[in-house]
Structure 1
Amino acid sequence: MNQRLQSLSHWMQQEQLSFALITSTANVFYLSGFYSEPHERLLALLVFPNDEPVLICPQMEVAQAKRSGWAYSIIGYSDIENPWEHIYTHMNKRSVTVENVAIEKTHLSLERYEQLCTYFSVRSTVNVEEKLRQLRMIKDEQEIAILRQAASLADYGVEVGVKAIAEGKTELEVIAAIEYELKKKGVRQMSFATMVLTGAKTADPHGTPGLASIQKGDFVLFDLGVILDGYCSDITRTVMFGQPNDEQKQIYHTVLNAQLAAIAASKPGTEIGAVDKAARQLIEQAGYGSYFTHRVGHGLGIEVHEYPSMNATNTMPLEPGMVFTIEPGIYIPDIGGVRIEDDILITENGAEILTKYPKEFILL
């Protein structure tokens, strides 16, 4: 078994668990190397404390699972078959005594939990997610190499977007230009719906792009990322179309200084909360504290939002191998907003910035 499966199996031995039922796409991919979005169909990985794992997937995806490098048993099922019956038969052949089962409590639906309990006499359940979060939080060299490439493609996306800006062009037109050029680079999927916002809409941290057109005097905010080989990137840049007024200059430079302070605070052993506070303190001192309405960042990897949560109350120390975003922002309703976001890797020596698109106040 690979090191990830071995680590999980060893933990299961310590916890005296019968088996683990892993059903989320992200965790199945992390443990098996097989990436699948099964929609309503069941995708699952059964992991045992002292036996080889087994993958369950729709029959039409069995060949893909094998090509992904999965070397153990695969249970494929058709659309007219109940996968739980296949699982029950397989477990009987292995003579598995089912008592304590590890599940992903935030992912396993009530319907599937009831199926699990119908086919097996489950005595108790343990949440496996905390263990998997710990494993996934520290990236290995292969993961880091992919994340660097994904960050570079995110940089390119912003570059394309900035070049596409023109007076009267709509947010969606700029998005179309970005995604078209990234597709030509081989990017099949974005980390999330690409965001380009202009004018007062930049004051919405999770605004919805539409047919708003870019005008002189507008902030233009880009928030985008790509998925490369199963791993996400995430970058935000805010640029100025035309000449800024004094308040726009102050907002931008306050956010930039806050982001740089948070990056400078990102070192092995530093509590995560101190990173958030480093950015928040500068924004509060500038009088914009009430307009910084979210945490300073989030973990990044197979999912665009994963552990650790980069919030002010998190006392977890930073460790080499952690990858996360730092993205302070100021959002003033009816005026506009600025966010600057980079992907950060903690190394033995401090913080490596993976996203490299320029952060000086760009005037177009």
Structure 2
Amino acid sequence: MNQQLKEVQNWLKENQLEAAYIHAPSDIAYFTNFHSDPHERVLALFIFPDQEPFLFTPALEVESAEQVVNFPVYGYLDSENPWTIISEQLKNRGVQSRIAIQKDVFPVNRWEALKEALPTLTEAMDVSPLIQRMHLCKSQEEIAIMMEAGKWADFAFEKGFSALQEGVSEQEVAAYLEYELKKQGVHHMSFDTIVLFGAHAASPHGMPDTEHHLENHQLALFDLGCMWNGYASDATRMACYGEPTDRQREIFDIVYEAQRRAQEAIRPGVTAGELDAIARDYITSKGYGEYFTHRLGHGIGQQCHEFPSIVGGNDMVIEEGMCFSIEPGIYIPNEIGVRVEDCVHVTKDGSEAFTKLPKELYIIKD
């Protein structure tokens, strides 16, 4: 049994709980190395304080799961009630009343279905904070995988920049860079690729479409990442088709400097809130504070957005091994949107970015 499972077992013993129900597929992969997207079907990992765990999957995935895990795997057909099977297995292991669930992601209807099948359940303690803490500081093996994911993000930026030409649509560029990744064996993005031109980039999470076409002297925002061996990358770069205007250059330089200052300030002992303030105060000093409308960053790992939040007021102390984004932006409605982002892992005396492509404004010329 791996160390992560043992840590949950010890926590269950300390809290006198009979079992932990792990629901999130990414967390199941973290504990078992079994990767699955069950869609609407039930996928669950049950951990016990003094017994071996069991994995519950749709019947069509039992064989695949058994090749990965070294403890029991149970499955169910679409025609069967999964909760009946789960409740019987829990009863067989002496589970009666007190379990732990992931309250941050566990659907209410599934908790109700489990309680209906096992009416003696009376208490559900939250295991989410423990799992968040376990994810917080990555191992060297995890960081090595994330460095590879970062290399593929760099590759995607280069392909995306090469596709910029006057008249091309945002969606065409996004589709091209994803196609180039797939040809290299990178099958999944961390999230839907963002490619936005001109004023359309003033929407921080806008989506590429076929209506916006690249024009001369227009900025292009690329926010993308890919999955590699179960871990995500995420970064943002800016390009300009033709020479930028003075206004574009001014705003880009402010965001670039804010990002640089915050990233250079990362080290064990600083707080998440202090990092946010470094970037936010700089942008505010230049007169654009009201246009920086989101937190500075988010954690990253098996999911693109993980705990913690790098935001003002968060007094969490940064530790070696933490992985998170630094991504200030300025978004002026109907005019311009600029963001610069790297994700980093914290070292003993600083940080290292997963993406290595320079963050300066890329000028695309015919």
TM-score by length of 2: 0.97
Q: In the alignment, residue 318 of structure 2 is paired with which amino acid?
A: L
Q: In the alignment, residue 162 of structure 2 is paired with which amino acid?
A: K
User: Residues 125-136 of structure 1: matches in 2 within 5 Å?
Assistant: 125-136=124-135
Q: 3-state SS of the aligned residue for 1:208?
A: coil
Q: Which runs of 4+ in 1 moved over 6 A?
A: none
RMSD: 1.0
Q: Give the secondary structure class of the aligned counterpart of 1:190.
A: coil
Q: Deviations over 1:62-98 (max 9, x none)?
A: 122123x21100011111111111112222332x142
Check the 8 A contact 2:199/2:336 in 1, yes or no.
yes
- 2:296–2:328 Cα contact (<8 Å) kept: yes
Residue 103 of structure 1 aligns with which residue?
A: 101
- Provide the residue aligned with 1:321 in structure 2: 321
The code of the aligned residue for 1:6 comes to K
Aligned to 1:195: 194
Post-superposition CA distance 1:16-36 (Å, at most 9, x none)? 111011111111111111111
Note if 1:181 corresponds to 2:198: no
Kindly provide the amino acid, as one letter, of the partner of residue 140 in structure 1.
Answer: S
What amino acid maps onto 1:48 in structure 2?
A: F
Partner of 1:254: 254
Once residues 70 and 138 of structure 2 are traced to their aligned partners in structure 1, the CA distance between those partners, rounded to angstroms, is: 23
* 1:292-307 matches, cutoff 5 A: 292-307=292-307
Q: Does 1:235 align with 2:235?
A: yes
Deviation at 1:185, TM superposition (A): 1.3
**Contact map agreement 1:19 1:49 (CA 8 A) in 2:** yes
The 5-angstrom pairing of residues 64-213 of structure 1 reads 64-67=64-67, 69-94=68-93, 96-120=94-118, 121-211=120-210, 212-213=212-213
* Per-residue CA distance 1:334-362 (angstroms, 9 max, x = gap): 11111011011001121111111111222
Verify: 1:245 aligned to 2:253, yes or no: no
Q: How far apart are 1:113 and its partner, in Å?
A: 0.8
Taking the aligned partners of 1:107 and 1:251, their CA distance within structure 2 comes to: 38
TM-aligned CA deviation for residue 169 of structure 1: 0.6
Partner deviation per Cα, 1:306-352 (whole Å, 9 max, x = no partner): 01111111100111111111110011111111101101100112111
When normalised by structure 1's length, the TM-score is 0.98
Q: Which amino acid aligns with 1:156?
A: F
- Which residue does 1:58 correspond to in 2? 58
**Superposed displacement of residue 146, structure 1:** 0.6
Amino acid at match of 2:232: C
Task: Quote the offset at 1:45 in angstroms.
Answer: 0.5
Q: Is the 8 A contact 2:237 2:361 kept in 1?
A: no
- Aligned residue-pair number: 362
Question: What's the offset of the Cα at 1:244?
Answer: 1.5
What is residue 358 of structure 1 aligned with on the other side?
358
Trace 1:6-21 onto structure 2 (pairs within 5 A): 6-21=6-21
Partner of 1:347: 347
Deviations 1:286-320 (A, max 9, x none): 10000000001100001100011111111001111
1:47 is aligned to 47
Tell me, yes or no, if the aligned pair for 1:265 and 1:274 is still in contact at 8 Å.
no
Structure 1 regions of 5+ residues with no counterpart? none
Partner residue in 2 for 1:263: 263
